[in-house]
Amino acid sequence: MENPEEDIYLKIRNKTFVDETALNQYVKWNALSIINFVDCRFKEIDFLGRSINFCKFKNSEFNDSSFRKCQFSKCNFENCQIVKLDITKAEFRNCNFRNCEFLQSDLSATDFWECQFVETTFKHSNLNFIIVQDVKVWKSNEWIEIKDESNFEKILKDMNLISTDEDEMENS
């Protein structure tokens, strides 16, 4: 066994889940735990209020879905496209985002506690009223620690990790 910890994960590869029924064929998903999703696509799934714990999402796409009021704990997102998602009022605890892109997603009133963002961007996404506690952002070989939400959006903007329609108009 190369990595015994990895052996406890249910692995799901190269699947497209277009609605809750498709996902339910693979897992009883009221609480998603200890699942490794690789090269999966999630489209038009309403995860409303679900608990998602110790899951890994690698090279996965999320489109037109809802994570509204979900609770994520110790999840990893790597090389993920997160497009047009409703992530309002969600909670992320000890989660890691590596080379991810949030595009046209609504993260308003979402909590990020002890999370890490490595080369992760937020494009045309709503970050209003988010709560940030002990978050680290990595870009260009540098960790930036953010203790609270008061400067989260400003730091992302200064690091060119966030863009809005206004930014694109200024650069044209």
Domain with 150 in it: what CATH number? Answer: 2.160.20.80
Tens-place pLDDT, residues 85-105: 999 999 999 999 999 999 999
Checking if the pLDDT of 130 tops 90, the result is yes
pLDDT for the residue numbered 127: 93
Q: What is the reported pTM?
A: 0.88
In a domain, residue 2? The reply is no
Checking if the pLDDT of 156 tops 50, the result is yes
49 close to 31: Cβ distance less than 8 angstroms: no
Range of the domain at 72: 8-164
Checking if the pLDDT of 117 tops 80, the result is yes
Mean pLDDT of 103-112: 96
In a domain, residue 98? The reply is yes
In a domain, residue 1? The reply is no
In a domain, residue 3? The reply is no
Instruction: Tell me, letter by letter, the H, E, C secondary structure of 41-108.
Output: EEECCECCCCEEECCEEECCEEECCECCCCEEECCEEECCEEECCECCCCEEECCEEECCEEECCECC
Tens-place pLDDT, residues 132-142: 999 999 877 88
146 close to 136: Cβ distance less than 8 angstroms: yes
Pick from 44, 111, 40, 109: nearest CA to 73: 111
In a domain, residue 106? The reply is yes
Checking if the pLDDT of 61 tops 50, the result is yes
In a domain, residue 169? The reply is no
Contacts of 52 (CB under 8 A, 6+ apart): 31, 32, 33, 70, 71, 72, 73, 75
User: Domain total for the chain?
Assistant: 1
Mean pLDDT of 20-35: 76
52 close to 69: Cβ distance less than 8 angstroms: no
7 close to 1: Cβ distance less than 8 angstroms: yes
In a domain, residue 172? The reply is no
Cα–Cα separations (whole angstroms), residue 106 to 14, 69, 86, 112, 140: 26, 12, 5, 14, 26
Record the tokens describing residue 28, joined without a space.
């009883």
pLDDT for the residue numbered 172: 46
